[in-house]
Every structure is written in C-alpha cells, then in structure tokens.
C-alpha cells in the first residue's frame, strides 16, 4: 500500500488471509475448548471467521456510509451545495481573504454531509476558480479545501458511525469527542489560514474577474440540509440512519420543486454507485479485524504490542504523537489502511480502552485525511490547482501534526480516554 503497488482495496483482504493462514497454521488448536465461541481449527479460522464473517463485520458502518452517500447526492443534485457557494461569494465583498475564510467555512459545512471524490470534484470546481480568480494562489486555495474537507468530515455522521460500530463506543461518548476534535480542527484551520495568508501577502498573484454566481431558486430553508443530520445527532441524540433519512427528505421536499420522488430515486441510485469503493474497503477492513482479533494472532502479536505500546498517559501521548506520520500512505496508524489490523489487535486483546484506541487513530488519522499524497481527493486537487501532492503535504503536515498532538493531550488529560 505504501509503495502504491497494490491498492488498499486488495491489500487489506490479502493481509487478512495471509495473517490468518500463518498464525492459524502454527497455533495449537488442540488446546481450544470444545465449547469455545471462536474457530475450532485453522480451516474454520480462515474460511468462517475471515472469509465468511469478516466481510459482514462492518455491516452497520456500511449502512451509515450508504445513507450518507445518498444524502450527499441529494445535496448536490438539488443545487443546495452550489447555492451555498454562490451565496458565500455574493456576500464576501471585495476582500479576497474574507472570501477565502467564508469559502473555507462553507466547504466545511457542506462536508458535514457530503462525501466522496465526486463531491470534492463538484465543490472544488466551483470554489477553486473563485478563489484563484480573486487573487489567491492555487496552492493556498487547494490547502484550504483540504482543511475544510477534514474539518467538516469530523462532524460527518458516516465517519462518526464508523468508529461507533468498529470500536463499540457509546454514541454519547463519541459525540463529546467529535465536538472537541471539531473545535481543535477549526482552530488548526484558522492557524493555517492566518500564517499562510500572511505569507501570501508577500507574494503577488494575478486576480481575474470572478464568475458571477449562478442564479438559483433553492429556498433558504433547503440550505439547512447539510447540517440538519449532525444537529439531530449532536443535539437530540438521534440515531444516525434516521437522522440521514430526515436530512434526505428535508432536502428533496424543500429544494427539488415538483419532483422530489425523481430526485430521491436518482440520489439513491447514484449514492449506492458512489459507495462501491468504500464498500470494498470496509469488506477488507472487516476481514482484517477478524484476522487480527482472533486468538491465534493475538497469541503471536499481543506480546509484541504490549511491549511497545505504552499505557501511561504521558507515554501514550508521546508514543502516538511521535509516530503520527505513520498514518500517511495507508500505514499502521491509518484506520482505513494497515491500522485497521493494529487497532483490531489492540481492541481484541484489550490492551487499551476503546476510547483510547479511538482517540489515537482519530487524532493521527487526520494527517492522512488532509496531507496524504495517495488520497484521491489530494491527487485531484493537486491536478486541478496545478500543484504537486508533495507540496500539499509539505504545507499542511506541520499544522495537522500539531492538531494530532493537541488532540491526544486533550483526549488523555481532559477527557479521560485512558480510564
């Protein structure tokens, strides 16, 4: 995965099968009690636990992602996202930095509900030309987009549901962490905006006439659609899927004119199509989790992890802070890559509390979300803005790494993640 010779879609299942085959072959199955709940032999371990039960392990998370993808299509198809962007451009005035700040906030609001490369392309195609046309450098604009996507993604119910389902964390607990991380990411984005904006003032960028905002008849009430689901979850503690459904219905009923059924049907079909890559990734993650959490694997790897993963508050923070860049390139701290197996082993062997595992991978995972050159949205933004993904990594990494350190400190010393 790190050398890009094999995509995560194939590497994760291959890793799961390899781990199960090796650990299962050398495990003493004769010591397993007849009434044990897990696999009784190597064949059961490989064929039942990994191949049969593994793909369905994240069924709830898959449903969260599917409903979130449909809502994303509703927001885009009804013109809600485009209207939010055009309104922001209308009210930004003549200051290019006020325009950049408002656009960053509005993109983050959109990504509390929209997901996927298609959404990045649609919104980025609207936002980047406006920012560059106002005299903002293309590299600065692309980095602001990356921060906005990550900031909004922290509040996205589909992401919240993935951690809730995978690590069996109470939704109320996850909600408190999400609020804290969202505030910290907002401050990180502000810091990047201020420092890089000050550097921008020393350089000269040509401005161009900005395209006039496209007239739209999207009602004001419809503009609440992106934030409605997360508001229902965070304020009223509503379950994730009902919150998504209410958001979809609100969007199509308030913004689709006389054809809400047609819009909703098209959104469902396109949303399910968009979720295909994520579905494949979640299947591989489920297989990796089952392979890593089984007794044969724990017997081999748990002593090693127990020797290197600290459980004291200061040691925990230092360990994951220093190793945070290992979340890049689908590495061992990337929950959507190799880290799925590591997190599964930590979870299965109960080496750390569930909240500590979540805090470690959620905090360090933002490096992957913002800076990783292998992200499809980083590649697209780099190509569109004519900036290399390495430059995007170089500019954003110090800020996101700082966020990770502060988030870990906050999680351990203020929220009691290790208790």
d(CA 15, CA 325): 21
> CA-CA distances (angstroms) from residue 6 to 247, 284, 379?
37, 13, 17
Nearest to 163 by CA among 154, 155, 174, 172: 174
**Residue 90: what pLDDT?**
77
Ramachandran angles phi, psi of 375, nearest 5°? -65, 135
Ramachandran angles phi, psi of 87, nearest 5°? -65, -40
d(CA 90, CA 94): 10
Q: Are 233 and 179 in contact (CB under 8 A)?
A: no
Which of the residues in the chain have pLDDT under 70? 2, 92-93, 202-216
Residue 392 neighbours by CB distance under 10 Å: 25
Ramachandran angles phi, psi of 211, nearest 5°? -65, 140
Q: Are 322 and 316 in contact (CB under 8 A)?
A: no
Q: Parse the chain into domains and list their residue ranges.
A: 56-413
Q: Are 414 and 203 in contact (CB under 8 A)?
A: no
Nearest to 418 by CA among 346, 335, 345, 332: 346
Query: Which residue is associated with the tokens 């990550």?
Result: 150
**Residue 24: what pLDDT?**
92
Query: Which residue is associated with the tokens 């550097």?
Result: 199
**Residue 209: what pLDDT?**
53
Furthest CA-CA distance within the chain: 76
**Residue 54: what pLDDT?**
93
Q: Are 278 and 192 in contact (CB under 8 A)?
A: no
**Residue 292: what pLDDT?**
86
Q: Are 94 and 118 in contact (CB under 8 A)?
A: no
d(CA 215, CA 198): 34
Secondary structure class of 209 (helix, strand, coil): coil
Chain segment 259-282, per-residue pLDDT in tens: 899 999 999 999 998 888 888 888
């Amino acid at each position: 995965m790190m050398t890009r010779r094999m995509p995560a879609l194939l590497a994760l299942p291959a890793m799961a099968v390899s781990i199960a085959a090796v650990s299962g072959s050398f495990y003493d199955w004769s010591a397993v009690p007849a009434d044990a709940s897990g696999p009784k032999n190597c064949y059961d371990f490989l064929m039942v636990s990994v191949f049969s039960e593994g793909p369905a392990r994240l069924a709830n998370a898959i449903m969260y992602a599917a409903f979130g993808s449909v809502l994303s299509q509703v927001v885009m198809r009804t013109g809600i996202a485009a209207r939010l962007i055009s309104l922001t451009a209308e009210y930004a005035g003549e200051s290019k930095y006020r325009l950049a700040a408002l656009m960053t906030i509005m993109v983050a609001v959109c990504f509390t509900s929209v997901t996927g490369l298609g959404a990045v392309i649609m919104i980025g195609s609207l936002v980047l030309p406006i920012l560059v046309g106002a005299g903002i450098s293309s590299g600065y604009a692309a980095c602001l987009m990356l921060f906005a996507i990550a900031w909004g993604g922290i509040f996205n119910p589909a992401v919240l549901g993935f951690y809730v389902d995978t690590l069996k964390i109470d939704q109320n607990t996850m909600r408190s962490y999400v609020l804290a991380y969202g505030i910290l990411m907002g401050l990180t984005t502000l810091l990047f905006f201020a420092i890089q904006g000050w550097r921008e003032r020393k350089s000269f960028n040509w401005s161009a006439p900005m395209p006039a905002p496209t007239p739209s008849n999207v009602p004001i009430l419809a503009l609440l659609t992106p934030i409605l689901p997360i508001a229902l979850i965070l304020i009223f503690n509503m379950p994730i899927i009902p919150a998504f459904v209410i958001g979809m219905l609100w969007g199509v009923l308030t913004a689709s004119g006389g054809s809400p059924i047609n819009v909703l049907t098209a959104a469902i079909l396109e949303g399910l199509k968009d979720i295909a890559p994520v579905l494949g990734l979640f299947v591989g993650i489920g297989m990796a989790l089952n392979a890593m959490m089984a007794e044969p694997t724990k017997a081999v790897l748990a002593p090693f992890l127990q020797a290197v993963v600290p459980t004291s508050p200061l040691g925990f923070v230092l360990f994951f802070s220093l190793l945070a860049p290992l979340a890049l390139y689908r590495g061992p701290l990337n929950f959507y890559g190799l880290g799925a197996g590591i997190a599964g082993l930590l979870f299965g062997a109960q080496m750390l509390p569930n909240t500590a595992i979540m805090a470690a991978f959620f905090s360090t995972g933002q490096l992957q979300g913002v800076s990783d050159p292998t992200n499809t949205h980083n590649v697209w933004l780099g190509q569109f803005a004519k900036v290399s993904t390495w430059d995007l990594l170089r500019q954003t990494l110090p800020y996101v790494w700082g966020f990770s350190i502060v988030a870990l400190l906050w999680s351990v010393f203020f929220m009691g993640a290790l208790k």
